[in-house]
Structure 1
Amino acid sequence: MASCKKVSALQKEQIQAWFESFDTVMTDCDGVLWTGSEAIPGSPEIINRFRALGKRVFYVTNNSTKHRREYKDKVDKLGFGGDLEDIIGTAYLAATYLEDTGFDKTKKVYVVGSSGITQEFLVWFFQPDPDGHVELGNHGHLKLDSEVTAVIAAMDLHISFSKLLKAASYLSRPGSLFLATNTDAQFPVKGKEIVVPGTGSMVAAVSTAAGRDPIILGKPNKLMFEIVQRRHPGVVPERTLMIGDRADTDILLGKNCGLQTLMVGTGVHSFEKVEEWESSSDPEHTRLIPDMYIDRLGDLLDLVSHL
């Protein structure tokens, strides 16, 4: 039966052995490092402590609304540091997937998404008109681009009937490629009685209209880690620590790739939830149990002061 250890309950020798067991850190961002525009106390310091101890740190996020340059500005402003190549987002994954699979650069990609996606596409993209309006039964005037052979579905605050119509039409073409950045159902909003739809709702709309399923790029699917490995051949699964606040994306990515996992309690899932999974007989719940848990990532600072 899988079980999770609380880092705070470990002895100094156990913490040292744990820290010596990984060379690479992959960390989710929102809910782990920051909330909105504010760093979670202690998180910048522990990220820099990881580096001081010789560990490579990668920021991995399912958020496709920002280009890596925007994330670079944020991590610098909040004191986390790192290089542009340390940032792995789903907008970057989409462009990298097309590059690595030899997508024809004379063709175009239709994007149901934001500028975070299109800024990663230096050669191929076809940006939909955000204000397009179509009356049902009166869509014959719409012109489809003959060069579009792929569709990417991502977070789109301006999703519309027009975009769904175009995306589904392009996906009806033989051989067309259908990618989705991720399928997160909601954005967590603590303390407010509102539900913020996530990318998964946009992807489901396009998928339903098209009658086909996409290739999903983001967590918990393996591509995010595989990209890190391809760009940095020295990265070894069993010596990589995946840190996250959400079990069904962050921790499951770690499980899917054979990584060590650490959950923090500053985001979506709590230790109480982990305990529920530990007592469950459902094998799917077992896969969500992290190896380690800590209330807040910054709490590691005092625990590793002796290293």
Structure 2
Amino acid sequence: MAGAAGGRGCRMIRGAQIRDVLDAAHNVLFDCDGVIWNGEAAVAGAPEVVRLLKRRGKRVFFVTNNCTRPRENYVQKFSRLGFTDVAEEEIFSSAYCSAAYLRDVAKVQGKVFVIGCPGVLKELQDAGVPVAEQGDEGPDVSVYNLPLDPDVKAVLVGYDERFTFMKLATACGYLRDAECLFLATDPDPWHPLRGGRITPGSGSLTAALETASSRKATVIGKPSRFMFECISSQFDLDPARSLMVGDRLETDVLFGANCGLATMLTLTGVSTLEDAHELQQSESPEKKDCVPDYVVESIADFLQALEE
């Protein structure tokens, strides 16, 4: 596909140029937050873009590191924001993919201790992966007598607004066993909130546990290849005919580069064109992998190309 094989050019494209890129793609993968929507508002034109891509015969997938809700709740959000034809099987979240990894790849024979939110727990439940009880954090429990379940064979870290020191200590206790798997839903360090504020992301909590345990987590979400492999195992995607559209250079764009996809940055989310140009000027090959092939102001720019 154009742009995927050569150097990543960071080209700002419009109109007929966008049409050429879309004509070459059979599969279009979108990040959600900052690309499809911001909070509870769809990005202008996004529902129409998804509808028109499907009408053109494109296969559309949604690949998100946001692990806060299960896939069935994502379907509800898509519907609420005006997307009328998004199916659950087209949505691949880091929570869903983490559950799939534990069940199908790691084939964990035991329980999983989870630092995470209800979205992660629901996906694990739906996948039939047993989860360890959090344990009692009452006044008589301390780091000296934390109960540890001998059946725990893996620790999974995701976004957790109820993160505590005792959860961290419990996870450390399990990871003292070198055979205990250590997984993270995603590496996102923070997420933007309304009013210019941010919230710590899964990557921040994972970093705390990595420091405390002297171990490195296996990351399931973007930029790991596993999310693409998870989609490809179900839909037989050809990387050479696939386009990744995202708003974050170090996750979305790097994910596309890692998987051999053409990449497009949209400027409705986290990363800016200046960020991309700065990486493009870097001497580091790793940073250059975060440079997109193409840049658009918004996926609303697709509309002209799709409607012609």
Q: Percent identity?
A: 37
Matching of residues 120-159 of structure 1 within 5 Å: 120-122=123-125, 123=128, 124-129=130-135, 132=137, 138-159=142-163
Matching of residues 185-264 of structure 1 within 5 Å: 185-189=189-193, 191-192=195-196, 194-233=197-236, 235-264=237-266
- Take 2:160 and 2:171, find their aligned partners in 1: how far apart are those partners? 13
- Take 2:38 and 2:56, find their aligned partners in 1: how far apart are those partners? 26
Aligned to 1:143, the other structure's residue is in SS state: coil
TM-score, normalisation: structure 1: 0.91
Cα deviation digits, residues 50-96 of structure 1 (max 9, x gap): 11110111111101111111111111221223111111011111110
TM-score, normalisation: structure 2: 0.91
Aligned to 2:268, the other structure's residue is in SS state: coil
- Take 1:273 and 1:139, find their aligned partners in 2: how far apart are those partners? 43
Would you say how many aligned residue pairs link Structure 1 and Structure 2?
A: 298
- Take 2:30 and 2:139, find their aligned partners in 1: how far apart are those partners? 42
- Take 2:271 and 2:288, find their aligned partners in 1: how far apart are those partners? 15
Instruction: Give 1:48's aligned residue.
Output: 51
Instruction: Give 1:276's aligned residue.
Output: 278
Q: Pick which of 273-282 and 285-294 moved more.
A: 273-282
Aligned to 1:263, the other structure's residue is in SS state: strand
Aligned to 2:24, the other structure's residue is in SS state: coil
AA of the residue aligned to 2:291: I
Cα deviation for residue 102 of structure 1 reads: 5.0
Aligned to 2:29, the other structure's residue is in SS state: strand
AA of the residue aligned to 1:155: Y
Instruction: Give 2:174's aligned residue.
Output: 170
Q: Is the contact made by 1:118 and 1:127 (CA closer than 8 Å) also made in structure 2?
A: no
Question: 4+ runs of 1 displaced by more than 6 Å?
Answer: none
- Take 1:275 and 1:204, find their aligned partners in 2: how far apart are those partners? 28
- Take 1:97 and 1:276, find their aligned partners in 2: how far apart are those partners? 35
Aligned to 2:123, the other structure's residue is in SS state: coil
- Take 1:57 and 1:269, find their aligned partners in 2: how far apart are those partners? 23
* Structure 2 runs not aligned, ≥5 long: 1-6
- Take 2:38 and 2:164, find their aligned partners in 1: how far apart are those partners? 29
AA of the residue aligned to 1:274: A
RMSD: 1.9
Q: Pick which of 51-60 and 168-177 moved more.
A: 168-177
* Structure 1 runs not aligned, ≥5 long: none
CA, structure 1 residues 132+225, in 2 after alignment: closer, same or farther (shift >3 Å)?
same
1:69 to 52, 69, 72: 72
Instruction: Give 1:289's aligned residue.
Output: 291
CA, structure 1 residues 284+174, in 2 after alignment: closer, same or farther (shift >3 Å)?
closer
Cα deviation for residue 35 of structure 1 reads: 0.6
Cα deviation for residue 270 of structure 1 reads: 1.5
- Take 2:140 and 2:28, find their aligned partners in 1: how far apart are those partners? 50
Instruction: Give 1:93's aligned residue.
Output: 97
Q: Is the contact made by 2:19 and 2:305 (CA closer than 8 Å) also made in structure 1?
A: no
Cα deviation for residue 134 of structure 1 reads: 6.7
CA, structure 1 residues 77+148, in 2 after alignment: closer, same or farther (shift >3 Å)?
same
Instruction: Give 1:17's aligned residue.
Output: 20
CA, structure 1 residues 43+227, in 2 after alignment: closer, same or farther (shift >3 Å)?
same
Q: Is the contact made by 1:134 and 1:162 (CA closer than 8 Å) also made in structure 2?
A: no
1:3 has 2:2 as partner? no
Q: Is the contact made by 1:109 and 1:150 (CA closer than 8 Å) also made in structure 2?
A: yes
Q: Pick which of 117-126 and 45-54 moved more.
A: 117-126
Instruction: Give 2:301's aligned residue.
Output: 299
- Take 1:26 and 1:133, find their aligned partners in 2: how far apart are those partners? 45
